[in-house]
Amino acid sequence: MAAGTSEDQEQLGLQDTPQPKDFEYREDEFILEGVSWPGAALSRFDRELLGAWQERMERGLFRYRLAELPTRVLPGTMRLLAQLNVQRSTERRRPQPVHSLTQPFDPQQFNFTQIRPGEELLRLRRRTSAESDRASADHVLVVINVSPLERGHVLLLPEPTLCLPQVLTPELLRVGLEAVLLSAQPGFRVGFNSLGASASVNHLHMHGFYLAHPLLVEAAPAEPLCPARGLSLLREAPAPALLFYTEGGGLETLARDVCRAAAHLLALGLAYNVFVTRGAPPEGSAGPGPGAGLRLLLWARRPRFEAEHGAAFNVALCELAGLLPLSAAAAFEGLREAEALRAIRRPLLPEPDLRRLAAELLRLLED
């Protein structure tokens, strides 16, 4: 049999490229109870995401093959979780140069219009109402993070050709909140790093990943500030934060409130990180269970536009939440809680400044 032409081979390669699946969902698919550790059950969302993610791993579309990561809990009250991931440090794409909190999108830098088709996993579309059979025309792409932190590490992207800079929008945040509610796994979390807060690509995206360990920020009690808006101050945590809580309703209002707060931070010259997870009500939980609702943590911080050379880790959303991805075995084996907490808290506002900021944000949200 004669060998196929190069055109035939190219066409075969295109046909062999895995295509993203349309994932349409309704609000009645949100899982509002029964989520608990160790999280053995998988929802339809979990099966589709993890199945497609693993299939791309088998195809070699990542920069490295992710094995089970060495993990240990640092002794101490904060239960910091350290993980050794050497390859992410050595194989990861170099972060883009960032000089401003409001730096415009630059098409000359790496951006998500350049991802390979096989990296796309799902197109998330929410049906507009229980009565309608039509899904929203807008969608959010779920794509692999080619340098994964953990199993199922993905990026949530609005339409990449819009070329939006890395400034959180209510539309994207709402999809992130909904993705957590679509998962039956207590360990599925999403988050956001702004420019000046360890964002490495100035093209709008959120992170999502599975981590099979509870974190203190999901159960620690918080001081109520404005119960009507679900706003509290989380102090007994690795990094004090503003805490927004919902039992699963009012996601559009929550997303709008958080993004108004984030815009206010940028106007003050502050960077920010966001972390969304299953969690207990603000009064906290005595046990390690994830709780019935959602906790959204918002950290305000002094911006930093360069990596801290020689540090055991750079501070982004994971580190603030209590997960420490480390690139060196010596740091993994020798890091202590006090040292880690100093590094995590260094870019954050002192508590008096944080309280003044919280009062400003309350007035903003009540207008």
Distance CA 194, CA 54 (A): 28
pLDDT in tens, 206-224: 999 999 999 999 999 999 9
What integer pLDDT is reported at residue 6 of this predicted model? 40
Residue 156's closest CA among 126, 176, 180? 176
What integer pLDDT is reported at residue 17 of this predicted model? 84
Q: Which residues, 6+ apart, have CB-to-CB distance to 285 below 8 Å?
A: 219, 291
Distance of CA 28 to the CA centre of its chain: 23
Q: What is the mean pLDDT of the chain?
A: 91
What integer pLDDT is reported at residue 130 of this predicted model? 52
| Catalytic option among 205, 207, 213, 264 | 205
Q: What is the CATH number of domain 26-366?
A: 3.30.428.70
Parse the chain into domains and list their residue ranges: 26-366
pLDDT in tens, 96-145: 889 999 999 999 999 999 999 899 999 999 987 655 555 555 799 999 99
Half-sphere exposure for 162 (CA within 13 Å, toward CB): 13
pLDDT in tens, 249-298: 999 999 999 999 999 999 999 999 999 999 999 998 755 556 669 999 99
pLDDT in tens, 158-204: 999 999 999 999 999 999 999 999 999 999 999 999 999 999 999 99
Q: Which residues, 6+ apart, have CB-to-CB distance to 47 below 8 Å?
A: none
Q: Is 139 a catalytic residue?
A: no
In the numeric block, which tokens belong to residue 262? 């984030």
Q: 184 in the Ramachandran plot: left (φ > 0), alpha (ψ -120 to 50) or beta?
A: alpha
Instruction: Indicate the pTM of the whole model.
Output: 0.93
Q: Angle 323-327-331 (CA atoms, 0-180°, nearest 5)?
A: 80
Contact 271, 198 (CB under 8 A): no
Contact 344, 238 (CB under 8 A): yes
